[in-house]
Amino acid sequence: MKLSSKFYLIFAAITLLFSFAGAGVMQFGISAAKSADRLAYSQLIALIKKEYPDVDERNIVSILNSPDSSGNADELLNKYGISEKDTIVLQNRQNYAAVISLGVSVCIGLGCASMICFGIYVSIRKRQDKKLTNYLMKINSGNYRLNFEDMKEDQISVLSSEIYKTTVMLREQSERSVTEKQKLKDSLSDISHQLKTPLTSIMIMLDGILEGDMPEELKREFLGDIRNSITHLTFLTQSMLTLSKLDANTITFHEEKVRLSDIINISISNTSAIAQDQGVEVKGECPDITIECDMKWVCEAVTNIVKNCIEHTKKGGSVTLMAEENPLLIKLTIEDTGCGIKKKDLPHIFERFYKGSNSSDTSVGIGLALSKSIIEKCGGYISVQSTEGKGSKFTIKFFKTI
Convert the pLDDT of each residue in 354-390 to its tens digit.
777 766 666 667 788 889 989 998 889 999 998 888 8
Count, in order, helices (H) and strands (E) of the chain.
Answer: 10, 7
CA–CA separation, 331 and 17 (whole Å): 74
Q: Are 70 and 76 in contact (CB under 8 A)?
A: yes
Beta bridge partners of 334: 321, 394
| pLDDT score, position 22 | 67
Question: What is the average per-residue pLDDT within 208-235?
Answer: 80
Q: Write the Ramachandran bin of 81: left for phi over 0, alpha for psi from -120 to 50, otherwise beta.
A: left
Q: Are 359 and 254 in contact (CB under 8 A)?
A: no
Mean pLDDT taken over the chain = 77
Q: What domains, with CATH codes, occur in the chain?
A: 3-140 (no CATH), 167-247 (1.10.287.130), 256-399 (3.30.565.10)
Convert the pLDDT of each residue in 48-74 to its tens digit.
777 777 777 677 667 666 665 455 656
Convert the pLDDT of each residue in 81-111 to its tens digit.
555 555 544 455 556 566 667 766 776 777 6
Q: Is 152 helix (H, G, I), strand (E, B) or coil?
A: coil
CA–CA separation, 195 and 44 (whole Å): 126
Given a cut of 90, whether residue 320 has pLDDT beyond it is yes
CA–CA separation, 386 and 313 (whole Å): 13
- Give the least confident one: 4-8, 38-42, 67-71, 323-327: 67-71
CA–CA separation, 95 and 177 (whole Å): 81
| pLDDT score, position 385 | 92
- Residue 200 CB: number of other CB atoms within 10 A? 11
Spatial CA neighbour of 370 closest among 294, 288, 318, 298: 298
| DSSP class of 279 | T
pLDDT, greater one: 137 or 266: 266
Instruction: Determine the distance from the C-alpha atom of residue 188 to the mean position of all C-alpha atoms in its chain, rounded to a whole number.
Output: 33
| pLDDT score, position 148 | 46
Convert the pLDDT of each residue in 183-209 to its tens digit.
667 666 766 766 777 788 888 888 878
Question: What is the average per-residue pLDDT within 337-360?
Answer: 81
Please name the residues in contact with 274: beta carbons below 8 A apart, sequence gap of 6 or more: 307, 310, 311
| pLDDT score, position 43 | 74
Q: Are 25 and 101 in contact (CB under 8 A)?
A: no
**75-79, 251-255, 330-334, range with greatest mean pLDDT:** 330-334
